[in-house]
Amino acid sequence: MCQQSSRQFVDTSLDNVLVIIPVRNEEVTIAAVIKSLQEFGLNKIRVVDNASSDRSGIVAEEAGAEVLYEPIPGYGQACWTGLQNIPSEIDWILFCDGDGSDDLNCLPQFLILRSQYDLVLGDRRATPAGKAVMTLIQHFGNGLAGWLIDLGWGYKYQDLGPLRLIRKSALNRIAMEDRGFGWTVEMQVRAIEESLNICEIPVNYRPRQGGRSKISGTISGSFKAGTIILSTLGKLYLKKAKNQERRKEKIVLWVSTLLLLIGAIISMPHGDFRHFENAIEFGYGIAIMCLGFIFSWGIKSLNLWWFWVVAIATRLILLFMYPGDDIWRYIWEGYIQTKGFSPYDFAPNAVELIPYRSSWWSQINHQNVSAIYPPMTQLGFKGLAAISSSVILFKSSFAIADLLICWLLITKFSYLQATFYAWNPLVIYSFAGGGHYDSWFILPLVAAWILLDKQTNKKTSIFTCLLIGISIAVKWISLPILVFLSWINLLKTNFKIAIIVFSVGILPLCLSAYFFCNGDSCSLIPTSSTFVSHGRSAEFLPHLLAKVWYPSTKNNSIFAIPLGLITLFLLFKVRNLQQFILNFLAALLLISPIIHAWYFTWIIPFAVGTKNWGIRLVSLSAFTYFVLPYRQALGNNNWNLTDIETGFLWLPFIFGLAWSWWRSLCDRHKI
């Protein structure tokens, strides 16, 4: 059966055809085969003597053929040798046997079909003479092979006969690898994969004119041939499946990359949530980024270049997004420090600061509350404001810290694992887009974890505590982590070392606080403000408690009790820094009465190795939080999620944590 072809010209030249004949002990028949070919005008004949013990090569040379010698037995090996150093004018290769079984009277039809096809095959089973000569085993084997090829590649061959004419350029594309009896089946399968124009035409087949068959002449030989053909098909199918998997992986990688970039581009102009329509467009863009993040879970391998292009490009795009309202407080508190005022002593609406109000002053949140950020953070704000009160400058500093976290993670994990953080839409938005400073405190915390994980000694412990101390001086919540390290050192070494570790860890906070404290006052947290004492935002356990005990909404300090108890439990139960951080932060997020979407970024780096399902899912569900600014833009200033919205945000986190914990428990029991 021949495929339809659009080629119409007729190639009558025979000077561009090379005949290759593999022979082994066929001195009786080879001369007649060569003579028949010459009678059809085919004079470029190459015979490959494949370890013959008779005069096959000599007889072939005397008959006018070029003879090559290949000592390694194998049909494919002989054919491969015949293909070496082919003259440049050759465009077609004709393969035939040297035993006289191929009826060469069909060659004119083969040669005419060159104008339309890349591969022309002889179908022995399509003629009565061919059918009669072929053994029952040959019929069965060829039929089975054709059926299997059709099953795997969607093209039905009728025969696997040796007589075939193939375009040289097509053979180069096929890139033959088999060196045995699987040569013919590999060529036919690869022809399908390369989308060649294929034609099978009926040919007569004769009994061997001399010598003894190496394959079909015996039961054992036929069994061996069948085994080779089946194993070749098996290898080709596995290779095809692997190639398809690679193509699928590449598609997944490209889709993930494009969705992340397109989502970032779509959401970038819509960061100003004072306008409700921006919140909707932002949601579309973030949804596309989230889909890209989901696709990244299917990536099997990733190189350095691809990792960094996506990580950097998405952040660069969102760097130009209108920021969240926190950044105006950052810039303001840095700015007034350059004017000699402490942000701990003066709230943004203080009368003393009226002369310094800028065009963006009205966008500062909680204008009646003085600074809540730790002293080292305030010094950082001051340093940036001394350079410029630029949103891009502040956001760039957060994005750089974020990218340094990415770099730290790839020193411990693979590029693929690190995408859990680096390609995470919540992370990308929070620092580069929203302009939240939390990456400043996450960076030293991740550095401490990775350093301690690589080596444990007295010097490392002290330096780790210094890094955690910097994290504390940037954001208060790292303090229990320092307590954990001090406790571990107390258990492993002695009380003196534990005191040193704690002292080193608290040092950055004390040194930075020096710039804001005087002899009679050192108020670094505005505990009297209503925002600190009973403010609420997207909380979980406090939300549930308020359903049964409303007075709990009037005092946030009560939630320090369960958090303290859980921290004590973890101190006695956990001995690994990463596990303590992961569990402590999970508890903090669940118990805290004030939660913003970017708070979930605190925990993400510490789940890179496990890809915890709770943290994976909350990276997506946390964007439920943005219904709050959307409603505010519509005039509804109630900053509380509904029960359904609370479920959408928190349940994926909780069920994912539970699932990952259960799987971990099962794995430990298996061990």
d(CA 515, CA 344): 11
φ/ψ of residue 2, rounded to 5: -115, 140
CA 250 to chain centre: 9
The alpha helices in 268-325, defined as continuous H runs, are 276-296, 304-318
- Alpha carbon separation from 671 to 612, 660, 665 (Å, rounded): 20, 17, 10
Angle of helix 391-412 relative to helix 304-318, nearest 10 degrees, comes to 160
Detail the DSSP E strand segments found in 28-140. 45-49, 66-69, 92-95, 119-123
Length of the chain: 671
d(CA 653, CA 656): 5
d(CA 403, CA 50): 62
Residue 5 has a pLDDT of 46
Angle of helix 219-267 relative to helix 276-296, nearest 10 degrees, comes to 160
Task: Kindly give the parts of the chain with pLDDT less than 50.
Answer: 4-10
d(CA 184, CA 142): 11
What are the structural domains of the chain?
Answer: 17-217 (3.90.550.10), 530-671 (no CATH)
**Cβ atoms 364, 348 nearer than 8 A:** yes
Residue 63 has a pLDDT of 93
Closest of 616, 620, 629 to residue 648, by C-alpha: 620
239, containing H or E segment: helix 219-267
The strand order across the sheet containing 45-49 reads 66-69, 45-49, 17-23, 92-95, 164-167, 119-123, 198-202
CA 86 to chain centre: 43
Residue 245 has a pLDDT of 82
Residue 210 has a pLDDT of 61
d(CA 24, CA 568): 83
Q: Tens digits of per-residue pLDDT, 394-447? A: 999 999 999 999 999 999 999 999 999 999 999 999 999 999 999 999 999 999
d(CA 307, CA 46): 52
Q: Tens digits of per-residue pLDDT, 457-472? A: 777 878 899 999 999 9
450, containing H or E segment: helix 439-454
